[in-house]
């Protein structure tokens, strides 16, 4: 166990160093969420005037409501990189170097996931700072921000599992990237991220109910707009747990089989 902790630590630090040395990567993932944050919320700001919207969300500022969607987009986009980093390791021969070493194979995945989670937190912090500058007020205060970070890190790890799974199956960066991009957008629009559930068409409501993004979004939205709504945080944690167990379980099994 001690050995595994030090292995995970070494691999975690490796990825952190890599990232710090190419800081552009931190911003690369932020470009799209930022464009949305700045443009989407301007074009759709009138949504905030709809009485039903105000009633359902508790705010008349669409940008405040939409902050949650931007955070989720950031998490999803950062999660993509977890798999791509792994593909690069396969290509460069570094993976073989780690495989011939007497280390626990799961350490390779966990070191990567934790570093990816740290990146996510940094990116979410940047988004929140920009949000504050744009007039978004976080009702739950500093404690709420910490809860947002924790949820973002956990959901980041769980969602990364999907990108790891695709990466291990295809060993191809392009496929991993496009699978990630193609799933993020539909899931975002088929959830309560961009519009409160009550304003969604009924078939979308049905889909949103089984879409993990909905529960993460609702937790973020309540922390930003209202304060601590424990049922929402609890639901988010359950969603993260389900996604995490499935995606990470599948990735670890596949990884062990592929590189035993």
Partner 1 sequence: MEENIVTVEDLHKTYGKDVLAVDGITFTVKKGEIFGFLGPNGAGKSTTIKILTTLLEKSSGKVTIDELDVDDDQAKVRRIIGYSSQEVGVDDDLTARENLLLQCSFHHIPKEKAKAKVEELLKTVRLAEAADRRLRTFSGGMRKRLDLASALVSEPKILFLDEPTTGLDPQSRQDIWEYIVRLNRQGMTIFLTTQYMEEADRLAGRLCIVDQGKIVAEGTPNELKAQIGADKITLHFKADDFSSCDKAKELMSKLPGIQEVGQCRDGLVSENGLTIMTKNGSSMVTQVVRAMDSAGINVEQLTLSAPTLDEVFLKLTGKTLNVVERKEAVGARGRRRR
- Widest Cα–Cα separation across the chain: 62
Q: How far is the CB of 106 from partner 1 (least distance, A)?
A: 14
CB nearer to partner 1: pick between 202 and 260: 260
CB nearer to partner 1: pick between 98 and 237: 98
Binding site for partner 1 (CB under 8 A): 3, 6-7, 9-10, 14, 17-18, 21-22, 91-103, 260
Q: Name every residue whose Cβ is closer than 8 Å to that of residue 81 and which is 6 or more positions away in sequence.
A: 25, 29, 116, 119, 163
Q: How far is the CB of 115 from partner 1 (least distance, A)?
A: 13
* Pair 141, 224: CB distance under 8 Å: no
CB nearer to partner 1: pick between 12 and 215: 12
Question: What CA–CA distance (Å, rounded) separates 149 from 186?
Answer: 24
Q: How far is the CB of 13 from partner 1 (least distance, A)?
A: 8
CB nearer to partner 1: pick between 91 and 129: 91
CB nearer to partner 1: pick between 55 and 91: 91
Minimal CA–CA distance to 217: which of 192, 238, 199, 239?
A: 192
Minimal CA–CA distance to 118: which of 80, 159, 153?
A: 153
Question: What CA–CA distance (Å, rounded) separates 55 from 153?
Answer: 30
Strand, helix or coil for residue 116:
helix
Q: How far is the CB of 20 from partner 1 (least distance, A)?
A: 9
Angle at CA 201, nearest 5°, toward 215 and 128? 40
Q: Count other Cβ atoms within 10 Å, centred on residue 101.
A: 10
Q: How far is the CB of 164 from partner 1 (least distance, A)?
A: 19
Q: How far is the CB of 99 from partner 1 (least distance, A)?
A: 6
CB nearer to partner 1: pick between 13 and 210: 13
CB nearer to partner 1: pick between 97 and 209: 97
Handedness of CA 128, 152, 50, 53 (dihedral sign): negative
Q: How far is the CB of 89 from partner 1 (least distance, A)?
A: 9
For 63-88, b/e burial (b = at least 16 CB within 10 A) is bbbbbbbbbbbbbbbbbbbbbbbbbe
């Amino acid at each position: 166990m001690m050995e595994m902790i030090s292995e995970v630590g070494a691999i975690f630090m490796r990825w952190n160093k890599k990232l710090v040395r190419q800081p552009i990567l931190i911003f690369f993932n932020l470009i799209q969420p930022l464009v949305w944050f700045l443009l989407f919320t301007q074009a759709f700001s009138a949504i905030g005037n709809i009485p039903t919207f105000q009633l359902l969300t508790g705010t008349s500022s669409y940008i405040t409501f939409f902050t949650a969607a931007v955070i989720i987009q950031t998490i999803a986009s950062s999660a993509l990189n977890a798999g791509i980093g792994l593909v690069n390791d396969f290509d460069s021969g570094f993976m073989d170097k780690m495989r011939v070493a007497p280390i626990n194979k799961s350490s390779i995945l966990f070191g990567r996931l934790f570093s990816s989670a740290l990146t996510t937190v940094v990116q979410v912090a940047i988004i929140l700072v920009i949000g504050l500058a744009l007039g978004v007020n976080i009702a739950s205060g500093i404690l709420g921000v910490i809860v947002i970070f924790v949820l973002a890190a956990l959901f980041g790890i769980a969602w990364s599992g999907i990108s790891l799974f695709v990466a291990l199956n295809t060993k191809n960066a392009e496929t991993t990237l496009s699978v990630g991009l193609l799933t993020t957008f539909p899931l975002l629009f088929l959830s309560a991220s961009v519009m409160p559930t009550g304003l969604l068409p009924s078939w979308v409501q049905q889909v949103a109910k089984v879409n993990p993004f909905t529960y993460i979004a609702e937790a973020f939205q309540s922390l930003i707009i209202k304060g601590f709504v424990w049922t929402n945080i609890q639901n988010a944690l359950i969603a993260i747990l389900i996604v995490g167990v499935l995606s990470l379980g599948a990735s670890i099994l596949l990884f062990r089989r592929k590189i035993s």
